[in-house]
Amino acid sequence: MEFGIFSHMHVPHDDTEHARFLRELEVSEAADAAGFKYDWAPEHHFLERYSHQPAPEVYLSWVAARTKRIHVGHAIVNITAPVNHPVRVAERIATMDHLSEGRVEFGTGRGSSSAEWSGFAIPSAAETKPMWQEAIEQIPRMWREEYYAYEGKYFRVPRRWITPKPYSKPHPPLWVACSSPPTFTLAGELGLGALCFTTGTAAEVADHVRNYKDAIRRCTKPIGEYVNDHIAVTTNMLCLQDGDEARWLYSRARTGQFLEYLLPVARFGPPAAAAPEGGARADPRADAGRPGGAAPARRQPGRRSRGDRRGDQGV
Nearest alpha carbon to residue 125 among 80, 76, 181: 80
Nearest alpha carbon to residue 296 among 240, 249, 254: 249
In DSSP terms, which residues pair with 156 in a beta bridge?
Answer: 151
DSSP string, 81-128: TTTS-HHHHHHHHHHHHHHTTS-EEEEEE--SSHHHHGGGT---HHHH
pLDDT over 60 (residue 48): yes
Tell whether omega for the bond before 216 is within 30 degrees of 0, i.e. cis. no
Q: What is the structure's pLDDT at 268?
A: 42
Least confident of 80-94, 130-144, 280-294: 280-294
Q: Cα–Cα distance between 52 and 20 in angstroms, integer?
A: 9
Residue 255 pLDDT grade (very low, low, confident, very high; cuts 50, 70, 90): low
Residue 18 pLDDT grade (very low, low, confident, very high; cuts 50, 70, 90): very high
Question: 48 near 271, Cβ under 8 Å?
Answer: yes
Q: Where are the beta strands (DSSP E) in 140-292?
A: 148-151, 156-160, 174-177, 193-197, 231-234
H or E segment and range at residue 23: helix 17-34
- The reported pTM is 0.79
Q: Cα–Cα distance between 304 and 129 in angstroms, integer?
A: 52
pLDDT over 90 (residue 238): no
Q: What is the structure's pLDDT at 14?
A: 84
In DSSP terms, which residues pair with 245 in a beta bridge?
Answer: none
The set of residues, in sequence order, having a beta carbon less than 8 Å from that of 21 and lying 6+ positions away, is 9, 59
Q: Which residue has the higher pLDDT, 200 or 274?
A: 200
pLDDT over 60 (residue 276): no
Q: What is the structure's pLDDT at 239?
A: 79
Question: 165 near 225, Cβ under 8 Å?
Answer: no
DSSP string, 216-233: HHT-SS-SSSS----EEE
Average pLDDT over residues 250-273: 53
Q: What is the structure's pLDDT at 250?
A: 79
pLDDT over 80 (residue 223): yes
Q: Cα–Cα distance between 152 and 63 in angstroms, integer?
A: 35
- The correct answer on CATH 3.30.300.30 for the domain covering 4-172 is no
pLDDT over 70 (residue 159): yes
Q: What is the structure's pLDDT at 283?
A: 35
pLDDT over 70 (residue 308): no
Residue 96 pLDDT grade (very low, low, confident, very high; cuts 50, 70, 90): very high
Question: 176 near 224, Cβ under 8 Å?
Answer: no
66 C-beta neighbours (distance < 10 Å), count:
13
pLDDT over 70 (residue 313): no
pLDDT over 60 (residue 6): yes
H or E segment and range at residue 75: strand 71-78
Nearest alpha carbon to residue 39 among 50, 31, 49, 47: 31
pLDDT tens-place string over residues 162-220: 999 999 999 999 999 998 899 999 999 999 999 998 877 889 899 999 999 999 999 99
Q: Cα–Cα distance between 188 and 185 in angstroms, integer?
A: 5
Among 138-142, 238-242, 278-282, the range with the most confident prediction by mean pLDDT is 138-142
- The domain locations on the chain are 4-172, 243-315
Q: What is the structure's pLDDT at 277?
A: 39
